[in-house]
Amino acid sequence: MNNNSKILLIDNEERMTESLKTLLEIEGHSVEAFTDSEKAAGFLKNNKLDLVITDIKMPVVDGIEILRRAHQADPLLEVILMTGYASLASAKDAVDKGAFSYLTKPIEFEELKIAIARSLEKRQTALEKERLLKQLKGTNLLLEQKLSQIDALYSASTIMASTIDLTETLSQILSLAIDVIGARIGSVMILDPDKQELYIGAACGLSSDIVANTRLKVGDSISGYVAQTGEPLIVKNIEKDPKFSRINRQHYESKSLISVPIKYKGNIFGVINLNNKTVGTSFNEDDLKLLYSFGSQAAIAIDRANIFADRGEKINELTVLFEIARKISTIDNIDKIGEIIYTQLRKLIHIEAVIWYGLVEKGMILKQDFMYKSNNYPLNPDPPPELKMNKEVVGRDGIVDINYVKDELLKCFADNSAANDKFAIEIIPVLLHNKVSGMMALVSNTSLDESGKNLATVVVSQAVSVIERQKAILNGMKLVTMGKMISEICHDLKKPLTNLKGVIQVYKEKIKGKEAVSFFTSSEKELGRFQDLVMEIVDFANPNMYNTAKEDLREVVEKASQLLQRDFQKKNIELNVSQDKDIPQIEINKNEVFEAVLNVMLNSIESMDDCGKLTVDVKLHPAGEPYVRIGITDTGCGIPKSELHRVFSRYHTTKKTGTGLGLAIVERVIEAHNGRLSVESEVGVGTTFNLDLPI
């Protein structure tokens, strides 16, 4: 039963009311008891409750009316009805009106306790569902806002591709920025490189005189400062900012403004400014980032205009880039994205293949997501679908050792060049939020020039944002599925577990004797562990911070080994446990780490037929790093290389009856302890799991 729950008790029999109130308070509940149903109805209306227990037959306000008012006050509030005049008609009426339970007097307290526990569990589940739905609505709203921003950026790309006139292009991009971010005044100031002055190329909310006559030296005022430094700027209070407190503020209705450089290929072409936010608040970092995106679009537009003015070149490049942006924004399959990148890039640069590798397993593996090649592709055989690094390439700060990954990838291509060594490879990092998530390899018969490399980089940046968006949507769907699964498991398992535990407690009282007491005590303990496992599934969706203490890992391993003795005997598995004597105590949550070790050992047992061998080693990290390593090695069936990177994924299982959560829980526990988890396996030989926990 849930402690600290708030219960309203109503019965016009004073002695019964006081008795039930006392018993429920002993159980840890907070109880408000009334014999006057009218006063109780007033209390119900003005207070937050978890449960109402009421007699049906009462003067003034009867139990059915209390039930109606309870649901009116809180639709999720459960009501238990009691009556000394039970009848089929009253029971049916109670159920029809939405009562959780219908109990007849005299009340059996154990029966009431069970009804209370079940009603509180039902309410908790309903409240959690309601919370998740609100959270989902909030996420959907945020997603709609992000999609609106993406649509605006896409529209800016469309404008660039369809409009040659620079003034018209900048005006439309500025208009989109003002609408999406929400501002009353905006301007695009273009840099005159010869005079080192800024002039207004497009504006909204400014008079024609200001647009025509404004000239700012680089370094002067806010726009000049941004053009000089090349860094975006938020001024939350222009009156208090020491850099700009003396500028003319007659055109500013609010104290906040944002300004970003129009920058492309390292060159600054001008500045885009917004001020006077429509909602009256200050601009924030999200506004600045979004405006920076529009500034990038404006920079491309200015650069394109300069190219047209100077040479009239590269129209085809921009058209193809637009086509790529348009197509990949409407698809959700990475293979189709790869095909678009390959076919469209070939219109701009001479390449024979596009190969996209993603970083997985903490940077230990490069996995090929797609590969498209022409008939003139120079390499034979193809590079492998997976390439394992000799070390972790993702540092603790998230920075990737790009040069090392490039070198390893180039070595891989060199090993596959026996048929033709006349080829060139260009490796382009796949960046997402300034972090490397993979590599794109361009294979050609001749080296790419700087322009070709830049074009490929732009294409990668467009494609990776679409791919990440699809992954985010997929993860959201998985979370919804997980929530439904948890609800079903809890609903199905908790009631039989509770009933079984109650039966054992009854027989424990009836059957005496040393062996019987030992048996029932052990059974209760294992049922308690089973209930903890059910809660573990619930906690998996929203893990809390663990309470940790200094513990000896050797005790954890010994406990898991003892618990599985019958499993080892049943399958005739040889268990070898080796534990160093100088292992220090480390800060862990003992129960969570025990479950993790137990899950891995169970997984190993299930992978072996009769006469297998399981070896468990507890030792300091072999490379001298500040970790204690638990190594668990079996002689089971092994894991295919194609499945190895997925063993810790939620819901992934090769068993007919598995849920796919066992190893995922192991990974969550180890990561929550700031540890590391790795696996090595060979089909037909066996598997080794290494659980590293920090000292």
Q: Residue 659: is its pLDDT beyond 50?
A: no
For 183, phi then psi, to 5°, come to: -145, 160
**pLDDT score, position 343:** 84
Q: Supply the CATH classification number for the domain 315-474.
A: 3.30.450.40
Which residues have C-beta within 8 Å of that of residue 219, sequence separation ≥ 6? Answer: 225, 227, 228
374 contacts 362 by C-beta, under 8 angstroms: no
At CB < 8 A and 24+ separation, what contacts does 274-280 make? Answer: 274/177, 274/178, 274/181, 274/183, 274/185, 274/186, 275/183, 275/184, 275/185, 275/186, 276/183, 276/184, 276/185, 276/205, 276/252, 277/181, 277/182, 277/183, 277/184, 278/182, 278/183, 278/184, 279/182, 280/254
- Rounded distance between C-alpha atoms, residue 254 and residue 587, angstroms: 52
Q: How confident is the model at residue 616 (pLDDT cuts 50, 70, 90)?
A: very high
Q: What does the pLDDT look like over 159-194, one tens digit per residue? A: 555 555 777 878 888 888 888 888 888 899 988 888
Task: Note the CATH architecture for domain 549-694.
Answer: 2-Layer Sandwich (3.30)
Q: Residue 140: is its pLDDT beyond 60?
A: yes
Better-predicted residue by pLDDT, 567 or 540:
567
- Domains 163-310 and 315-474 are alike in CATH topology: yes
Q: How confident is the model at residue 431 (pLDDT cuts 50, 70, 90)?
A: confident
Q: Residue 110: is its pLDDT beyond 80?
A: yes
Q: Which helix (H) or strand (E) holds 610?
A: none
Q: Residue 287: is its pLDDT beyond 70?
A: yes
**pLDDT score, position 446:** 79
Give the DSSP letter string of 69-135: HHHHH-TT-EEEEEESS--HHHHHHHHHTT-SEEEESSPPHHHHHHHHHHHHHHHHHHHHHHHHHHH
For 180, the 3-state DSSP assignment is helix
Q: How confident is the model at residue 506 (pLDDT cuts 50, 70, 90)?
A: confident
Q: What does the pLDDT look like over 46-89, one tens digit per residue? A: 888 999 999 888 888 888 888 899 988 899 888 998 888 777 77
**pLDDT score, position 692:** 93
Q: Supply the CATH classification number for the domain 163-310.
A: 3.30.450.40
- Rounded distance between C-alpha atoms, residue 322 and residue 34, angstroms: 72
Query: 338-342, 367-371, 497-501, 688-692: which range is least confident on average?
Result: 497-501
Mean pLDDT score across all residues of the chain: 79
Better-predicted residue by pLDDT, 639 or 323:
639
Indicate the Cα dihedral angle 372, 424, 642, 363, nearest 10°.
-120
- Rounded distance between C-alpha atoms, residue 592 and residue 497, angstroms: 21
Q: What does the pLDDT look like over 93-108, one tens digit per residue? A: 777 888 888 888 888 8
Better-predicted residue by pLDDT, 681 or 158:
681
What's 369's DSSP letter?
Answer: E
Q: How confident is the model at residue 629 (pLDDT cuts 50, 70, 90)?
A: very high
Q: How confident is the model at residue 241 (pLDDT cuts 50, 70, 90)?
A: low
**pLDDT score, position 251:** 46
Q: How confident is the model at residue 634 (pLDDT cuts 50, 70, 90)?
A: very high
Q: What does the pLDDT look like over 569-580, one tens digit per residue? A: 888 889 999 998
**pLDDT score, position 656:** 45
Better-predicted residue by pLDDT, 694 or 305:
694
What's 261's DSSP letter?
Answer: E
Both tokens assigned to 99: 């009562």
Q: Work out the average pLDDT over 421-433.
A: 76
Better-predicted residue by pLDDT, 538 or 80:
80
Which residues have C-beta within 8 Å of that of residue 250, sequence separation ≥ 6? Answer: none
Q: What does the pLDDT look like over 436-456, one tens digit per residue? A: 777 888 888 777 777 777 877
Spelled out in words, what is the top-level CATH class assigned to the domain 6-128? alpha beta
Better-predicted residue by pLDDT, 29 or 504:
29
Both tokens assigned to 321: 């880039």
Q: What does the pLDDT look like over 306-359, one tens digit per residue? A: 666 565 445 666 677 777 777 766 666 666 777 888 888 888 788 888 888 887
Q: Residue 203: is its pLDDT beyond 50?
A: yes
Query: 72-81, 363-372, 405-414, 494-503: which range is least confident on average?
Result: 494-503
Indicate the Cα dihedral angle 580, 581, 585, 588, nearest 10°.
30
Q: What does the pLDDT look like over 366-407, one tens digit per residue? A: 888 888 888 888 777 778 888 887 777 766 555 777 888 888
Q: Which residues of 554-582 are buried (b: 16+ CB within 10 A; e: fewer)?
A: bebbeebbeebeeebeeeebebeeebeee
Q: Side chain identity at 420, as an amino acid letter?
A: N
Q: Residue 651: is its pLDDT beyond 50?
A: no
- Rounded distance between C-alpha atoms, residue 253 and residue 216, angstroms: 21
Q: At what angle do helices 662-672 and 590-607 cross, to 10 degrees?
A: 150
Q: Residue 254: is its pLDDT beyond 60?
A: no
Give the DSSP letter string of 584-609: PPEEE-HHHHHHHHHHHHHHHHHH--
Q: At what angle do helices 14-26 and 109-162 cross, to 10 degrees?
A: 60
What's 499's DSSP letter?
Answer: H
- Listed by start position, the domains of the chain span 6-128, 163-310, 315-474, 549-694
**pLDDT score, position 207:** 87
